[in-house]
Amino acid sequence: MPRLPARVRIVRWLRHFWPAPLGIDGREHLRFIVGAVLGIFLTAVLSRWWVGGGHAHGPWMLGALGASAVLVFGMPSSPLAQPWPVLGGSTLSALVGAGCAALVPDPAVAGALAVGLAIALMVPLRCLHPPGGSMALYVVLTASDGLHLAVFPVLFNVLVLLLAGVVYNSLTGRRYPHPQQSPARTAVAKGAFAASDVDAALAHYNQVLDVSRADLEGLLELAGRAAFQRTLGDVRCVDIMSRPAMAVEQGVSLKEAWTLMRLEKIKALPVVDADRQVVGIVTVADFMRLANLDLHEGLGQRLRALVKGRGGQPSRVGEIMSHPVQVARVAQHAMDLVPLFSQGGHHHIPIVDEGGHLVGIITQTDLVRTLEVAVQGRDPAA
Residue-range domains of the chain with CATH: 22-171 (no CATH), 187-232 (no CATH), 238-375 (3.10.580.10)
Confidence check: pLDDT of 274 > 80: yes
Confidence check: pLDDT of 381 > 70: no
- Predicted confidence at residue 142, as pLDDT, reads 87
* Distance between start and end Cα atoms, the chain: 45
Taking the C-alpha atoms of residue 73 and residue 82, their distance in angstroms, rounded to an integer, is 11
Alpha helices in 143-253 (DSSP H): 146-149, 156-171, 187-192, 195-205, 213-232, 237-240
- Predicted confidence at residue 204, as pLDDT, reads 73
Question: What distances in angstroms separate CA 219 from CA 197, 212, 348, one per listed residue?
Answer: 14, 11, 29
Of 36-50, 207-221, 341-355, which gets the smallest average pLDDT? 207-221
**pLDDT-derived band of residue 376, with 50, 70 and 90 as boundaries?**
low
146 vs 50: which has the higher pLDDT? 50
CA angle 259, 263, 268 (to 5 degrees): 75
What average pLDDT does the structure give for the chain? 83
- Amino acid letter, 79: P
- Predicted confidence at residue 199, as pLDDT, reads 72
293 vs 211: which has the higher pLDDT? 211
Maximum CA extent, the chain? 96
Taking the C-alpha atoms of residue 375 and residue 368, their distance in angstroms, rounded to an integer, is 11
Confidence check: pLDDT of 85 > 60: yes
Confidence check: pLDDT of 164 > 90: yes
Average pLDDT over residues 122-133: 95
- Predicted confidence at residue 231, as pLDDT, reads 65
Taking the C-alpha atoms of residue 245 and residue 88, their distance in angstroms, rounded to an integer, is 60
Confidence check: pLDDT of 361 > 80: yes
Taking the C-alpha atoms of residue 345 and residue 364, their distance in angstroms, rounded to an integer, is 11
Confidence check: pLDDT of 296 > 50: no
Average pLDDT over residues 207-227: 70
Q: What is the pLDDT of residues 230-270, one digit of tens each?
A: 666 678 888 889 887 789 999 998 888 888 888 888 889 99
Average pLDDT over residues 124-142: 94
pTM: 0.60
Share of the chain above pLDDT 90, in %: 39
3-state helix, strand, coil in the chain (%, to 5): 55, 10, 35
104 vs 204: which has the higher pLDDT? 104
Q: What is the pLDDT of residues 97-120, one digit of tens each?
A: 999 999 999 999 999 999 999 999
- Amino acid letter, 238: V
- Predicted confidence at residue 272, as pLDDT, reads 92
Taking the C-alpha atoms of residue 276 and residue 274, their distance in angstroms, rounded to an integer, is 6
